[in-house]
Amino acid sequence: MSILTKLFAPRTDDRRFPSIPALERAAQGRIPRFAHQYMSGGIGREDGLRRNVSEFDNVRFVPQYLREYEPADLTTKILGQKYAAPIGPGPIGLTGLMWPGAPLHSARAARAHDLPTCLSTYATSSIEDVGAVAGPAMWFQLYPFKDVSIDEDLLKRFKAVGGEVLLITVDIPGSTRRERDIASGLSLPPAQDWRTYLQAALRPRWALNTLRNGTPEFVNMMRYAPEGMDQLSALEFLGGIGAGHIGPERLRHYREIWDGKIVVKGLLSVEDARIAADCGMDGIVVSNHGGRQLDAAPTALEMLPQIRQAVGGQMAILADGGVRYGSDILKLLAMGADFVLLGRAMTFAVSAMGPEGPKHALHILLEEMKGTLGQLGCEDLSDIANYLQNKDIYR
């Protein structure tokens, strides 16, 4: 290939977006400011948000080069299912505000890579539509409601599409104040004032796609609002019917009515992990909710070793928070996780690239995982903790 041909060759996705941080930077220029503030913001000083990313700098691996090596097999068995790797898109509400059909695009990407995808109760695509794409590889994240009949109907719908793995989020016991969202006037539909119109006008591709596909809605939940309410009133109603704190009795109720796997999402303490195990849960997600609930909370990376020591072997341990590189995933696994859920990484991707973004993000992370394992000389993911330089970190 001549030099001129190389210079004028079309840029591939890898050249345009070689990393998750590259997608993160591009996303800001593709979506309106109010949407970007929601996607990227935390709570309070946003110290927890920053630490979710920066804590990975404290974990290091020691490579081992002088050995025979066969590429590691990333295949993972978890919660009764087998996947190509220990990662998958996690549940995030309102992603349709970033790009129309975002949950469906993530589901298709996960299926293409033979990975699971987890749908939020407050997704902007329905259980039925995402289930048709993902099948049994769709997990469902439930926000518990005061009225348990709503929970039970959502689970019936999930069961009807072949769902097996249920995640119950427990780290939203009440409302919170997120400064970025308050300042930007975030709402659904977006507030209709000159600021919103200006922000949308500055992102014409986003605006045209949103107009073409319609204003995103919490489609899984609208049917539970009183009949005759307009969308704004219905959303206000739905925002006030959360169950609040979830105790052992409620967990045992879910164990009685759901015959698949149950994972409790949003735990950070050893005591909570033990309670979940005592209630018959099949797994937990160690998570600080992306730094969006309690700014002073520790990161998943910090708490994983203690939780692994307390309940490892009794249940599956999943984690999320701050992942930007494949090596971050391996660090979470080395510190005690069995599986890693991907949140903002997937949202940055769909914001930056549209429908093809999630597939590219998974490609990046899987390739980085393989490259890092090759550097370490690690052939078996179950052995990854043995490559830690600082094995006693956070213990």
Could you say which DSSP state residue 125 is in? S
For residue 117, the cross-strand partners are 138
Strand pairing partners for 342?
89
Sign of the C-alpha dihedral, residues 255, 257, 260, 264? negative
Q: How far is CA 142 from the centre of its chain?
A: 14
* Amino acid letter, residue 296: A
Count other C-beta atoms under 10 Å from residue 173's C-beta. 13
289 part of the active site: yes
Intra-chain end-to-end CA distance of the chain, in Å:
54
The catalytic residue among 113, 289, 360, 363 is 289
Structure tokens at 278: 């005592």
**Distances in Å between the alpha carbon of 335 and those of 48, 82, 312, 317?**
19, 22, 12, 11
Name the DSSP class of 225: S
**Whether the Cβ atoms of residue 150 and residue 95 lie closer than 8 Å to each other:** no
Q: What is the DSSP letter of 72?
A: P
Instruction: Dump strand ranges (E) for the chain.
Output: 76-78, 81-83, 87-89, 117-120, 138-142, 165-169, 261-267, 283-286, 316-319, 339-342
CA-CA-CA-CA torsion sign (323, 328, 329, 332): negative
Candidates 173, 338, 163; CA nearest to 262 is 163
- Is-contact 178 43, C-beta < 8 A? yes
Q: How far apart are CA 109 and CA 159, in angstroms?
A: 22
138-142 vs 117-120, strand pairing mode: parallel
CA atoms within 13 Å, Cβ hemisphere of 246: 26
Residues forming the active site: 289
